[in-house]
Amino acid sequence: MSPKPAHKPARSWSSPTRTTRPAPSSSRSSSAWAWRTCSCSTSPSLETMDAVFAEIEARHGKLDFAVHSMAFAKRDDLHGRVVDTSADGFALAMDVSTHSFVRLAKKAEPLLAKAGGGALVTMTYLGSEKVIPNYGVMGLCKAALEAATRYMAAELGAKGIRVNAVSPGPLMTRAASGIAGFDGLMAAAVERSPMHALVTPEDIGALTAFLVSDAGRLVTGGVHFVDAGYNIMA
C-alpha cells in the first residue's frame, strides 16, 4: 500500500466499522473492528482511539486481530529531497505513518490478550529498503514501521500476539495516484518481476487473512512481500 499524499483537505476519521471473517473452529470471537479512514493530515486523537476500543470491549470483550493501513506525508516532503524535509513535516509523517501503529498496538494489547492472543498487521512498501523515486520521507517512515513491527513482535510474543508487516507491490489506489510517476512504477513491476504481474487487492487480502488466522499462529516479526517477486530483482 502506498502513502496517502497531501492532495486532499484534512478530514476526520469516521466511526468504527465492523468487519467479519469466517467462523473459527475455537471459541474465539468471529468478529473484529477496523477504522475506515480517508486522506487526512492528522492521526486519530487518543480520545477517538479510546472510544473505539471501549466499544470493542463493550460489544465483544476481546479482539482477534487489527490491521493498520494508513500513511501521510506533505506533498513537498513526499516528492522532494529527504535532506530538505522540514522538522514539522518529518514529525507529521512519522506520527501518522508509523507511531499510529504503535498506538494501535498499545490499545489493542489487552483485548488481544483476553482472546488468548491474536495478530497485528501493518502495510509497508519496498521503499523502506530501496530508494524509490518520489517516495521521499515516506521511505524513512516505512523503514521505521518495519523496525517497530520487529520490536513489538518481540515484546508481545509472550502473550501470543503476533505482529507482521505486508509489503505489496505497486497498486493503483486513490493514495498512490498522488505519487508522481506511479504509472512507471507499475509498468516496471510488470516488466521486471519474475511473474510479470501486478498485485491485486485480493492478493493482499489473502496474505493478510493468512497472517491473522490460526494457520499463521507461529509467524511473527516479518515483512511479507506480495509483489510477484519484484523485491528480489536487482
Q: List the catalytic residues.
A: 125, 135
* CA–CA separation, 225 and 41 (whole Å): 27
C-alpha cell at 19: 468487519
Of 219, 214, 215, which Cα lies nearest the Cα of 27?
A: 214
Of 225, 65, 29, which Cα lies nearest the Cα of 156?
A: 65
Strands 31-35 and 65-68 turn out to be unpaired
Instruction: Return all residues near 201 (Cβ < 8 A) that are at least 6 apart.
Output: 171
* CA–CA separation, 57 and 113 (whole Å): 12
